[in-house]
Structure 1
Amino acid sequence: MIFKSLAVAGLLTCMVTQTASAGFILYNIRNGASGAAGVSGLPNGPYDIAITEGGQKVGLGSSDIDGSKLKNIGNLAITRTDDRTGMAAGPFSAPYLNFWITDGTNYAVVANEPSNAAFQPLFNNGYDLTFADLADKTAKVFENADTSWLPNNGVGLTFADLGELVIQAPTIAELGVGWAGLGTGAPRELGTNVAYGVNWIFGDTLENYVSGGPGYAVSSPSVTAAVPEPSSLVIACCGLVAAGVSFRRRKRAAVAAV
């Protein structure tokens, strides 16, 4: 019992919040009738994304927390600095979130609803979100016609309902083969099928995502999750082994003394 308690305590000690190391990648998802959206920016931002017509769609994606459960999102943030007042849908229409989720066999995209009034109070010159902010919000599921593997067959869900599913982008090969319901708007790079588990999305088929002017101006995208820190795990495991050996030696000595 003592050894088990030490093991639990050691593993809990090893849980830390780590910041994404590879960062976010800007990529084109879909062209409009007149071509691709205009994008520019440095590798780590700031970024300018001009959605000039419905149909154009751009992603800002990261695989840094792929493999984490949805419920283990620590923080998701992005700053938006453009003038949003001239947009048809107002200031809350973008960026919005897409997550690739899986049960280990099936994939789908779960998205927030940027026009949903419940999300709008979360916007403050961008977003600075924890999973607690998302948990009770409506979660719409896309990019898979089969929703039988999801809670309640994918109907009437919140992010909390999907919390046990894993954030994980499909591989290039899996997206190349495809499946029923996978569409052209799925968050994957046009022409390469490279995909990322966490995505900020700009544009869509609707005109209300057209940015106008210089476009969306965003910076400082970040994502964190509670993950084991490798060095801490090594130290903890060594300590647990030593504690176990010491405990067994004391037990044997006590038996021998009797």
Structure 2
Amino acid sequence: MTTRMTKAISAVTVLLSASAAQAGFVDFVIRGTPTITYPGAGQTNFLVPKSGDKAGLGSNDINGRTLGSLQSVAITRIDDRSLFTPGSGPNMGPYLNFWITDGAGNYAVVANEPTNPDMQGLYNNGWDLSAADLANTTAKIYENSDKTWLPAATRDTNGDLINDAWAFSDLFSYEIKPPSIAELLDPGWLGKGTGLPRELGTNIAYGVNWVFGDTQGNYVTGTGPGYRVQDAAVSAVPEPATLGLVGLALLGVCATRRRDRG
């Protein structure tokens, strides 16, 4: 194989891996005193002993992509889930948080609810969810009291949302992107709670988050054993521009082969 062909094939490999690479996730404390340990290679354990304790695994690898371009967001549970009541929060967790924005300075957190019937059928010792999986499931909106910039959803005769009843598909056009530290600290931003997905102390936020624990105690693990997880990953459908670059690289490979044979 010629050096020229090797370089062309390498370019294709890099482009393909960049468009669908499994993301790197960072663990962090959100609130309270959850305990994060590393029991084995590639494994993280989240012990969430009481209401209010909250931790996360966050990634910025698909920031800038739309929620509707989500190809896969996945995580595997390897602890003994039978220790928790079937269908309960700690049996079905963790849950998802996405930071979304309209690009005009408005941000909110979109969350799923694993214990909802529309989510439970998607669970298989963890999660591997695409935009299509989430499309018709309930999307909960947090961390912003101003929802006028969001699309219309199911409303009653007074024009008020019925149980904040957005579906994920209503939000597919919004960009996945966390606010900056300065934006998070803006006193004019109303509706932020202490449990918003960002690292306690540093206020560093991530676009995609697996979250362990909550305010009301629906996802606490007690004193043990905790959520033991591995293989957290996220990817988005390749953008047309990326696919175009892949096509050009493949054409380069074909042209190189023809020259070598000629």
Same topology, TM > 0.5: yes
Residues 1:223 and 2:234 aligned together: yes
Matches within 5 A, 1:12-161: 17-21=19-23, 23-31=24-32, 36-41=33-38, 45-88=42-85, 89=88, 92-104=91-103, 105-152=105-152, 155-161=164-170
Residues 186-208 of structure 1: CA deviation (Å, up to 9, x unaligned): 00000101000000000012223
Asked whether the equivalents of residues 20 and 65 of structure 1 are also in contact (C-alpha less than 8 Å), the reply is: no
Confirm or deny: 8 A CA contact 2:95 2:113 kept in the other structure.
yes
1:194 alignment counterpart: 204
| Partner Cα distance (1:231, 1:162) in 2 | 24
Whole-angstrom CA distance in 2 between matches of 1:234 and 1:17: 10
Q: Percent identity over the alignment?
A: 49
**CA apart distance, 1:92:** 4.1
Asked whether the equivalents of residues 75 and 126 of structure 2 are also in contact (C-alpha less than 8 Å), the reply is yes
Further displaced range: 68-77 or 227-236: 227-236
Change (3 A) 1:195 1:90: closer
Cα deviation, 1:168-202, whole Å, max 9, x if unaligned, reads 00011111225100111100000101000000000
Distance 1:233 1:215, change over 3 A: same
Separation in 2, partners of 1:26, 1:43: 15
Q: Deviations over 1:188-234 (max 9, x none)?
A: 00010100000000001222311132211000000001234769639
| Inter-partner Cα distance in structure 1 for 2:69 and 2:39 | 29
CA positional deviation for 1:90: 5.8
Amino acid at match of 1:192: T
The residue type paired with residue 113 of structure 1 is E
Task: Please state whether the residue corresponding to 1:139 is helix, strand or coil.
Answer: strand
**Equivalent position amino acid for 1:124 in 2:** N
Deviation of 1:91 (Å):
5.4
In structure 2, what is the Cα distance between the partners aligned to 1:97 and 1:41? Answer: 21
Equivalent position amino acid for 1:151 in 2: P
Q: Is the 1:44–1:220 contact (alpha carbons within 8 Å) kept by the matching residues of 2?
A: no
Whether contact under 8 Å (1:171, 1:195) holds in the other structure is: yes
* Cα offset, 1:19, TM superposition: 1.1
SS at match of 1:208: coil
Residue 203 (str. 1) matches residue 213 (str. 2): yes
TM-score by length of 2: 0.77
Query: Deviation string for 1:79-110 (max 9, x for gaps)?
Result: 00111223352654410000000001200000
Q: Distance in 1 between matches of 2:216 and 2:116?
A: 15
1:92·1:123 contact (CA, 8 Å) conserved in 2?
no
SS of residue matched to 1:59: strand
- Looking at structure 2, the residues matched to 91 and 187 of structure 1 have their Cα atoms a distance apart, in angstroms, of 18
Change (3 A) 1:122 1:167: same
Structure 1: how far apart are the matches of 2:73 and 2:91? Answer: 16
